[in-house]
Structure 1
Amino acid sequence: MEALGRQLILEYYGCPAERLNDASFVEEVMVAAAESMGAHIVCVNFHQFNPHGVSGAVVISESHLTIHTWPEYGYAAVDVFTCGTVIDPWEAHAFLKERFGATRESTVEFRRGCFDVAPGTLPSAYGVTREDLDK
């Protein structure tokens, strides 16, 4: 089976509340995570909730990174979805876990858009190379 993309569902526990309740910090970390895995950022949107919590999205050419935080519980729910085989979502996970200061995590990987075809025969989005993305 070939897949169009991979999606990580990440849960971070034990994060310092001040990190998870700072929209500017959360945005900075999410953008840096996208950059750390070589993704191409399309747009960024984050929102600070009252009395606490942050939600946001970093849309990338290769798909997206999203987050919702519960600072009062030291918890962040994160989604990293990448299409193709060039960008590795696990690189973003390692970066995010460290920057958010998680003491515990839960991770699940899903393969999205699975097709029963010969390896390397999916349409263009699957076979994109790093050089193609840099054009």
Structure 2
Amino acid sequence: MLRDGVRCAGAHIIVDVYGGERLDDLAHIEETLKECVEVAGATLLHVHLHHFDENGGVSGVAVLAESHISIHSWPEHRYAALDIFMCGETEPQACIEVLRKAFSPSHIAVSEFLRGRGL
């Protein structure tokens, strides 16, 4: 993958969602992950989500041919942590707007790391 003129294995985007809504809604989270996959131009292989009874949080992953998107949510704190890692001809940054629309956060923090720099 070539990203910003740098050859790398893939782009790894770390997303922190603050003040988010619907972070305990399993069906909504699954649809959001699927929409992220679609807008990024990735290939979905499988989605596995687990809903915790204690706090209503959700942990899970969308496994992609190009890697993965994972989520861990703490609805009682209106917070979610997501990892978006993709290689190939994908646009992982496109997922950010999908997450904004889906969870209506007060703030999103995004960090991007190029994995396997210089391959």
* TM-score (norm. length: structure 2): 0.90
Identity, in percent, stands at 38
Alignment match, 2:112: 109
Alignment RMSD = 1.1
| CA apart distance, 1:98 | 1.6
1:92 aligns with 2:95: yes
Q: Distance in 2 between matches of 1:38 and 1:110?
A: 19
1:62 aligns with 2:80: no
Q: Distance in 2 between matches of 1:8 and 1:28?
A: 19
Q: Runs of 5+ in structure 1 lacking a partner? A: 116-121, 123-135
Q: Could you list the runs of 4 or more consecutive aligned residues of structure 1 that deviate by over 6 angstroms after TM superposition?
A: none
Q: Distance in 2 between matches of 1:82 and 1:50?
A: 31
Cα contact 1:48–1:55 (8 A) shared by 2? yes
Letter in 2 for 1:111: L
Q: Distance in 2 between matches of 1:27 and 1:58?
A: 8
Q: Distance in 2 between matches of 1:77 and 1:89?
A: 15
Cα contact 1:27–1:56 (8 A) shared by 2? no
Work out the number of aligned pairs and report it: 113
Q: Secondary structure, in 3 states, of the residue corresponding to 2:100?
A: helix
Q: Distance in 1 between matches of 2:50 and 2:83?
A: 16
Aligned pairs for 1:24-103 (under 5 A) are 24-51=27-54, 52-84=56-88, 86-103=89-106
Q: Secondary structure, in 3 states, of the residue corresponding to 1:12?
A: strand
| CA apart distance, 1:40 | 0.6
Which structure has the larger Rg? 1
